[in-house]
């Protein structure tokens, strides 16, 4: 039984690798083929936007044609798009082609977007498989919460493993190793996953998948903190919305911290989304900074090593001291973390603009990894603020707004950093990281985020924690 379980875990892990491999593969192949950071950034953005839409779209299609059919068809389309991307990048680097570069670039944008859209939603359907035993009260499984946490661990492991795989394979295969590896895994592991599991045809609509490590874990902690874990609510799954809301109103944890209403709710939501966008902008700038600094090396594909370290640092930082997710100290310390992030960004700007030697790659990579640690801690604090102030009935909207803000920030950070690197020099992409850090400092110190520490009020019959904020 343990061997079968290990085989299933290995297949599930391999089947979710094409998602994180796509942006890394696009970065490696496009940067090596064109040398343009702007071109690379826009293609990665197209892939990320496609991936953010692909997960919810796959969930909706599964209710009509079945989850297995969705996975198999998406695998075919994804492999086709990857092959077309590799071929198009090759034509873009050849000088004897009859097709203009603008046409090929436009086709690459389409291929990247469709590749992201068709990236197999393995994680989404695997989570739905975990939820399936809890659909009826008599089938409640006390290990569902542990199963969902294992799904998050697989997502984080894939996020870390993807760039390291590209780094190991690029020496023998070339800059297209990431895209080719993704095609092989999609053609082999995804069908195995689809046929070896009894997948439910209805999957919950999840928030957009995030490229920032630690966010998946923070989302799971938030749901558990607000009493939405299936282990605690086995009799609510599958009930009508009005019945579910009534049950949540009876749960003490569901009303804990639900202090946001009216204008306060709007301010808190905008502040959370803006902070998410700022963190995403810093992450996008870090990617371009590492990629640009590696272009001076004999093997530019080495940029994938610090990319893997960045993912690992943010994941480990997000998982550190997880039991303190609801602690007021976590919300207070975000001021310290955002200040350190700004300081690291300023040092990153100084090193990137003043030093242009191959040795600066190591220094810039180390600074980017340290910045990723702060991003991981701030991402956890961001979702903890949702737990402190977002009402449970509005929590899905808040999580979607934060996920959308993070995706928008990553795309803006990538694009602006790519323009700065092409027009001013590779080191100037760090200016975008400084800008994103400044925005994060303003948001955190502005006092509009849920959970902002406030003055201690006199004790009354109705006690309220001073860190819950007034937003």
C-alpha dist (Å) from residue 188 to 47, 116, 280, 434: 21, 18, 32, 42
Q: 455 versus 426: which is more confidently predicted? A: 426
Mean pLDDT is highest, among 55-69, 130-144, 298-312, 351-365, for 298-312
pLDDT at 143 (0 to 100): 60
Of the pLDDT bands very low, low, confident and very high (cuts 50, 70, 90), residue 207 is low
Domains of the chain listed by start with CATH number: 1-134+149-196 (1.20.1250.20), 207-455+463-471 (1.20.1250)
For the segment 75-81, the average pLDDT, to the nearest whole number, is 95
Q: Is the pLDDT of residue 129 over 80?
A: no
CA angle 4, 163, 125 (to 5 degrees): 40
Q: Is the pLDDT of residue 197 over 50?
A: yes
pLDDT at 454 (0 to 100): 59
Q: Of 148-162, 214-228, 333-347, which range is least confident?
A: 214-228
Residue 438 in contact with residue 311, Cβ under 8 Å? no
pLDDT at 258 (0 to 100): 42
Query: What is the distance between the alpha carbons of residues 74 and 58, in angstroms, rounded to a whole number?
Result: 9
Q: Is the pLDDT of residue 458 over 60?
A: no
- How many residues appear in the chain? 471
**pLDDT mean across residues, the chain:** 80
pLDDT at 135 (0 to 100): 43
pLDDT at 228 (0 to 100): 61
Query: What is the distance between the alpha carbons of residues 278 and 288, in angstroms, rounded to a whole number?
Result: 16
pLDDT at 254 (0 to 100): 39
pLDDT in tens, 156-172: 899 999 999 988 888 77
Q: Is the pLDDT of residue 280 over 90?
A: yes
Q: Is the pLDDT of residue 292 over 80?
A: yes
pLDDT at 198 (0 to 100): 67
C-alpha dist (Å) from residue 182 to 163, 194, 381: 12, 17, 33
Query: What is the distance between the alpha carbons of residues 433 and 429, in angstroms, rounded to a whole number?
Result: 7
pLDDT at 139 (0 to 100): 40
Token digits of residue 276? 């998410």
For the segment 255-260, the average pLDDT, to the nearest whole number, is 42
pLDDT at 161 (0 to 100): 92
For the segment 325-349, the average pLDDT, to the nearest whole number, is 92
Q: Is the pLDDT of residue 395 over 90?
A: no
Q: Of 51-60, 132-141, 313-322, 448-457, which range is least confident?
A: 132-141
Q: 185 versus 466: which is more confidently predicted? A: 185
pLDDT in tens, 245-257: 443 443 444 334 4
Q: 266 versus 440: which is more confidently predicted? A: 440
For the segment 102-111, the average pLDDT, to the nearest whole number, is 90
pLDDT at 6 (0 to 100): 64
Q: Of 82-91, 376-385, 428-437, which range is least confident?
A: 82-91
Residue 102 in contact with residue 75, Cβ under 8 Å? no
For the segment 44-58, the average pLDDT, to the nearest whole number, is 90
Q: Is the pLDDT of residue 40 over 70?
A: yes
Q: Is the pLDDT of residue 96 over 60?
A: no
Of the pLDDT bands very low, low, confident and very high (cuts 50, 70, 90), residue 461 is very low
For the chain, give the percent of residues with pLDDT over 70: 78
Of the pLDDT bands very low, low, confident and very high (cuts 50, 70, 90), residue 74 is very high
C-alpha radius of gyration, the chain, whole number: 22
pLDDT at 276 (0 to 100): 95
pLDDT at 288 (0 to 100): 95
C-alpha dist (Å) from residue 113 to 51, 81, 292, 417, 446: 8, 9, 23, 20, 36
418 by Cβ neighbours in 10 Å (0-12 / 13-18 / 19+) ranks as buried
pLDDT in tens, 209-249: 678 888 888 888 887 777 665 444 333 333 334 434 443 44
Q: 313 versus 138: which is more confidently predicted? A: 313
Contacts of 192 (CB under 8 A, 6+ apart): 11, 15
Of the pLDDT bands very low, low, confident and very high (cuts 50, 70, 90), residue 33 is confident
């Amino acid at each position: 039984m343990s061997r079968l379980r290990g085989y299933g875990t290995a297949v599930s892990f391999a089947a979710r690798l094409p998602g994180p491999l796509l942006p890394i593969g696009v970065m490696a192949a496009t940067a090596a083929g064109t040398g343009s950071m702007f071109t690379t950034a826009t293609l990665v953005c197209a892939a990320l936007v496609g991936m953010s839409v692909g997960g919810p779209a796959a969930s909706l299609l599964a209710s009509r044609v079945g989850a297995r059919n969705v996975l198999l068809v998406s695998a075919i389309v994804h492999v086709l798009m990857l092959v077309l991307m590799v071929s198009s990048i090759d034509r873009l680097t050849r000088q004897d082609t009859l097709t203009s570069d603008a046409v090929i670039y436009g086709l690459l944008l389409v291929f990247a977007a469709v590749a992201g859209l068709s990236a197999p939603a393995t994680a989404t359907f695997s989570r739905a498989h975990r939820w399936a035993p809890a659909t009826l009260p008599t089938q409640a499984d006390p290990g569902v919460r542990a199963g969902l946490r294992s799904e998050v661990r697989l997502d984080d492991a894939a996020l870390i493993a993807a760039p390291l795989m590209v780094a190991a394979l690029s020496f023998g295969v070339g800059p297209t190793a990431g895209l080719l590896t993704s095609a092989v895994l999609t053609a082999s592991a995804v069908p195995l996953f689809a046929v070896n599991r009894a997948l439910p045809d209805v999957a919950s609509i999840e928030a957009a998948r995030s490229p920032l490590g630690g966010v998946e874990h923070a989302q799971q902690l938030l749901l558990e903190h607000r009493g939405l874990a299936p282990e605690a609510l086995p009799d609510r799954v599958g009930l009508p919305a009005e019945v579910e809301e009534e049950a949540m109103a009876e749960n003490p944890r569901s009303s804990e911290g639900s202090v946001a209403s009216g204008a306060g709710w709007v301010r808190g939501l905008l502040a959370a989304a803006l902070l998410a966008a700022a963190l995403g902008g810093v992450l996008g700038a870090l990617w371009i900074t590492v990629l640009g600094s590696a272009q001076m090396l004999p093997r530019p594909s080495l940029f994938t090593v610090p990319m893997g370290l960045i993912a690992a640092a943010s994941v480990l930082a997000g998982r550190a001291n997880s039991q303190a997710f609801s602690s007021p100290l976590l919300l207070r310390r975000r001021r310290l973390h955002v200040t350190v992030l700004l300081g690291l960004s300023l040092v990153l700007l100084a090193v990137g603009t003043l030093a242009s030697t191959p040795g600066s790659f190591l220094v810039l990579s180390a600074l980017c990894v340290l910045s990723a640690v702060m991003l991981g801690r701030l991402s956890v604090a961001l979702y903890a603020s949702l737990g402190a102030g977002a009402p449970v009935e509005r929590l899905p909207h808040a999580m979607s707004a934060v996920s959308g803000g993070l995706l928008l920030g990553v795309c803006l950070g990538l694009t602006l950093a790519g323009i700065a690197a092409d027009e001013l020099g590779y080191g100037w992409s760090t200016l975008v990281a400084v800008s994103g850090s400044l925005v994060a400092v303003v948001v955190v110190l502005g006092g509009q985020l849920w959970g902002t520490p406030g003055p201690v009020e006199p004790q009354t019959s109705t006690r309220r924690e001073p860190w819950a904020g007034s937003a």
